Amino acid sequence: MKVLITGATNGMGKGVAKVLAGIDNQKHEIILMGRSKELGEATIREIGNFTMNTKLSFVLCDLTRLSDVRNTINQIKSKHEYLDCIFINAGLGYAAKRVETEDGMDSHFQVNYLSQFMLTLNLLNLLENSQKGGRVIFNVTRGGKIFWEDIQMKNGWSFEPAIHQAMVAKRMFLVKLHDLYKGVNAPKVSFIGFEISKTVWSNQLNIIPVSMKIMATVMKFLGTFISIEECGKIMAPLFTESQEESLKRSGKFITWKKNEFIGLKEEETVFDQEMQERLWNISLELCNDEATSGISESLLSQSFPFQQQ
């Protein structure tokens, strides 16, 4: 499998990359994406030395810049004719204050959702070219609401509602993609939302306040946390299972519990087609990207296969 992982130099992304690189006789090709060239290269060396997998590469992309996302899309498409999977994983966590990107958006909304909305739409044709069943796995959690009147959260911002807004936006996005691709003439691509049942111990803990760090340490002692490698082992089957099995999960929100994947009850608002359409249109407007808008038009008109620049 050829897998693109966003946020691949830390946390869940790094854990999935490390496990996939090491299994099945190191046959999987892993494309790691991150915002630090130095950390990306170090991660490749670490995983390569640990697994002996030589099919590792890094693509530099700062998701706080839509111009970076466009350049990354062009770079990936110039080097790869297909992808078997994209892991939409990158995301900002704790922050002491709201940060606005150079594109004029709340950084949590742009990084955790919008930039990866744009990335996913522009790489769908590579997933359609997969011979093993193209799929997108979304790292998501329950809850959240869209602040329709203040989607950039300029008023009353705090990091948890900002994170959860992006999470529900991703879940609405994956359900809409699933519905668009389940047509008779559509290519077989699956879209799956996954919530890890335990918190993953990551470098995010280095930036949280002392009080939260103490609480996290206690929770780790009580077994609430798991390592990035354990997370990777849990998730690996979602990336390597057959197309048939992956399609059965498409459009669903799942987790891992008692040694099996189980479905989670999704909120009705996520299935609301008017809300999905509203979010989709807002997202296109914010991306302000001609190619992305063209892809959307083809998707919504069910013009498969659709042309992409």
The pLDDT of residue 309: 43
> Alpha-carbon distance 32 to 14, whole Å?
8
Residue ranges making up the domain that contains 242: 2-198+231-297
Q: Residue 226: inside a domain, yes or no? A: no
Contact indicator for 31, 5 with CB cutoff of 8 Å? yes
Contact indicator for 35, 71 with CB cutoff of 8 Å? no
> Alpha-carbon distance 204 to 10, whole Å?
9
Q: Residue 219: inside a domain, yes or no? A: no
Contact indicator for 178, 187 with CB cutoff of 8 Å? no
Q: Is 219 exposed, middle or buried (0-12, 13-18, 19+ CB in 10 A)?
A: middle
Q: Residue 110: inside a domain, yes or no? A: yes
First to last CA, the chain: 24
Best CA proximity match to 269, nearest among 198, 160, 172:
172
Q: Residue 220: inside a domain, yes or no? A: no
Query: Mean pLDDT for each 10-residue chunk of the chain (309 residues)?
Result: 97 96 96 97 97 97 98 98 98 92 98 98 97 97 96 95 97 96 84 85 54 54 75 96 97 95 96 97 98 95 59
> Alpha-carbon distance 177 to 190, whole Å?
9
* pTM reported for the whole predicted model: 0.91
67 to 73, 111, 283, 288, 297: CA distances (angstroms): 10, 13, 15, 11, 21
Q: Residue 210: inside a domain, yes or no? A: no
Q: Residue 39: inside a domain, yes or no? A: yes
Q: What is the largest CA-CA distance in the chain?
A: 54
Contact indicator for 194, 166 with CB cutoff of 8 Å? no
- Give the full edge-to-edge strand order of the sheet including 190-195: 56-60, 29-34, 2-6, 85-88, 135-139, 190-195, 253-257, 260-263
Q: Residue 68: inside a domain, yes or no? A: yes
Give the chain's domain count.
1
Q: Token match 């354990």: residue? A: 230
Q: Residue 306: inside a domain, yes or no? A: no
What CATH number is given to the structural domain containing 16? 3.40.50.720
The pLDDT of residue 223: 58
The pLDDT of residue 285: 98
